Amino acid sequence: MPVTATRWLAEYAWLPEHAEPTPDVLIETDGGRITAVTPLLGAHGPDAGVDVYADAVPLPGLTVPGLANAHSHAFHRALRGRTHGGRGDFWTWRDQMYGVADRLDPDTYLALARAAYAEMALAGVTCVGEFHYLHHRPDGGAYDDPNEMSAALVEAAAHAGIRLTLLDTCYLTSTVDGQALASPQRRFGDGDASRWAQRAGAFQPTDAHVRVGAAVHSVRAVPADQLSTVAEWAGERQAPLHVHLSEQPAENDECRAVHGRSPTALLAEHGVLGPNTTAVHTTHPTSADLTLLADSRTGVCLCPTTERDLADGIGPARLMAEAGIRLSLGSDSHAVIDLFEEARAVELDERLRTRRRGHFTPADLVTAASSAGHAALGWADAGRIAVGARADLVTVRLDSARTAGVPPVGAFFAATAADVEQVVVDGRLVVAEGRHLSVDVPAELSAAIEAVTPR
Ligand SMILES: [Zn+2]
């Protein structure tokens, strides 16, 4: 449903640079942008007996900026709850993930991504960064349109009502020492980085809700001498460039054995790091790695619920923040789609590691979940409730069983995705009264997952 000029009266709104939410804020939007933000300072609020704001749409609860899910593999949603029975680690989980990857075609990919993105909308996500490497047919051959799978993701995000940064991922080899892709990885590969660049460059969607960026899958998947091709492709376009980095100690060990340096140092040497680059995970960096990331103004996207699900470890979030590294958040494998949970995990995981509390303020967590994530995805004009910003407004109930009695400043430590009551994306109402306006999310998830999972 399109929303043109609208006045919203937020009971509480989390404004930029504020340590806590501000009560009674009039937010005016027009044409997908925020045109005015006026804290009423109690003088003219709904309780003051003044009726001049009677035309404003009330937003009871806490309204926060649009949340950005900076790291997603949409098809992993099909694995939720299916990989928890046995023992194993990241690598055994990966075999199960490949089983789903092998079964997808453009139609089932569209259905699954549409449902997963609609689940994100319900959780207050207004923009997703899709780290996309399911490019080709299962045997590695191209579809008639070599970017048909990318187009499916663009369509999925449009149906779900959220913005998409399609991070077209270069994935060429299966090991750091350059072994060839074997089934079921063959559909990920373009042969070499030049052919990847050619295919990725041919995909130029004009839809307003999408941007195209690039990704290096990891130092396992792109040979060192081809890294700069991907970096230059992104640099020429000023596009976001993402890379999985040091998620596993084994990746670090193999990189040192083959290249004599850490994955971060290898990326730095080949021009992959920089202000438009986001390193995903960075769970096992050295202190020299952190210096390289900070000096190059590379951001880091943490995915705490996936990292714990996959037994990856705990990334040094506090050290990164102290080094000035911008932190964003992603739900990655979608074991959970809940940016509140990702955000508080950044603080709570530090507590487990250090046995001390208070490493990040609530406002730090809001920034990671909103403006920092949007910036990492190339939408610098989103993720803030401020004049000129995109009209993304996420309203969280403060009267649910989870949030009743919680002061607004504590919402990111109490709320879950289920407490998101209303979501406006670029001025359009996408979620109202906790329901997606165009997608029956549970029904579509069930059908889409059943179509691609073994009985
Ligand atoms: Zn990932």
**Å from CA of 10 to ligand 1 middle:** 35
Measured between alpha carbons, how far is 225 from 314 in angstroms, rounded to an integer? 31
- Percent of the chain at pLDDT exceeding 90: 89
**Å from CA of 424 to ligand 1 middle:** 27
Query: What is residue 50's predicted lDDT score, i.e. its pLDDT?
Result: 52
Mean pLDDT of 47-55: 65
Overall pTM surpassing 0.85 (yes/no): yes
Mean pLDDT of 405-428: 98
Residue 87 pLDDT exceeds 90: no
pLDDT 10s digits, 230-254: 999 999 999 999 999 999 999 999 9
**Å from CA of 218 to ligand 1 middle:** 10
**Å from CA of 336 to ligand 1 middle:** 14
pLDDT 10s digits, 382-397: 999 999 999 999 999 9
For the annotated catalytic residues, the residue numbers are 281, 332
Report which of 151, 157, 262 is spatially closest to residue 204, judged by C-alpha positions.
151
Residue 315 pLDDT exceeds 80: yes
pLDDT 10s digits, 153-210: 999 999 999 999 999 999 999 999 999 999 889 999 999 999 999 999 999 999 999 9
**Å from CA of 47 to ligand 1 middle:** 47
Point out the least confidently predicted range of 110-124, 304-318, 375-389.
304-318
**Å from CA of 333 to ligand 1 middle:** 7
Which of 263-266's residues contact partners 24+ apart within 8 Å by CB, and which partners?
Answer: 263/218, 263/219, 263/289, 264/288, 264/289, 264/292, 264/293, 265/289, 265/292, 266/219, 266/224, 266/227
Residue 51 pLDDT exceeds 80: no
